[in-house]
Amino acid sequence: MLRDVRVVTMVLPTSVLRDHQTDPLFQSYTVRPTTLPRTSGFLTVGFSADQFSDDAVGEVWEGIRPSSLGRHRERQLAAALAGEDFLLPFPEKLHPSGAGSSTSASLPAFAVFEDGKAVLTGRFEHAVAGTPRSPSENPVGYLADLRQHAMVFIEARCPSAGKTTTCVDRLLGPDAIEWAVTWVADDIGKIEAVELLHERRFSGLGSTVNVVFGQ
């Protein structure tokens, strides 16, 4: 998780392509038509191949908590087979992380688990200021940034449903990793702990990452 890299593309003014749609996972272009009406299709470019592999999409019927991307890809395929209008490229229930203020400082500790094994624990007092250029350079800074995005997401997209709240929507982190979000409230409704879950495989048999923020 801490070594994943995401890349984006863009067109030059002199290109024969023109922008159609862009999101954090892939970019879509059309070819400038030489005749009208236009009969060309779309060219979609992306470098998050792991998000569209069999592990990320092909097991949609096997898992308990499939990813938003996997479910959306299945709906797109069904629409194409049925001859219906093609769905938008991006799932409605997946929300890119956004900037904003939050009370994230009230959760000073973190723990990272990979396939159930603790791989990193600590407190944010030792975080380097500023957003890290890469998680491998500054994993604590990366987690501090992820905590901030998670808190803003909860405040905007995931109202309390009781002592423990499992968010219906998913958080798309700044590095295009999808997280299922669960948070726990204290007696007065204040956020007491947050857990982020990332399953590369829907069945949960491999590459499951849990990040916990708390006291």
Note the pLDDT tens digit of each residue in 82-137: 777 767 767 888 888 776 666 656 899 999 998 889 999 999 875 555 555 456 67
Q: Can you say whether residue 31 is alpha, beta or left, with left for phi > 0 and alpha for psi between -120 and 50 degrees?
A: beta
Residue 36 has pLDDT above 50, yes or no: yes
Beta pairing partners, 204: none
Residue 30's pLDDT is 74
* More confident of the two residues 48 and 72: 72
Rounded to whole angstroms, the Cα distance separating 189 from 183 reads: 11
Q: Which residues of 118-150 are buried (b: 16+ CB within 10 A; e: fewer)?
A: eeeeeebeebeeeebeebeebbbbbbbbbbbbb
Which one is predicted more confidently, 167 or 12?
167
HEC string of 96-108 equals: ECCCCCCCHHHCC
Cβ contact 31:17 at 8 Å: yes
Q: Helix (H, G, I), strand (E, B), or coil: what is residue 194?
A: strand
Band of residue 3 on the pLDDT scale cut at 50, 70, 90: very low
Higher pLDDT, 86 or 49: 86
Quickly state the pLDDT bin for 1 (edges 50, 70, 90). very low
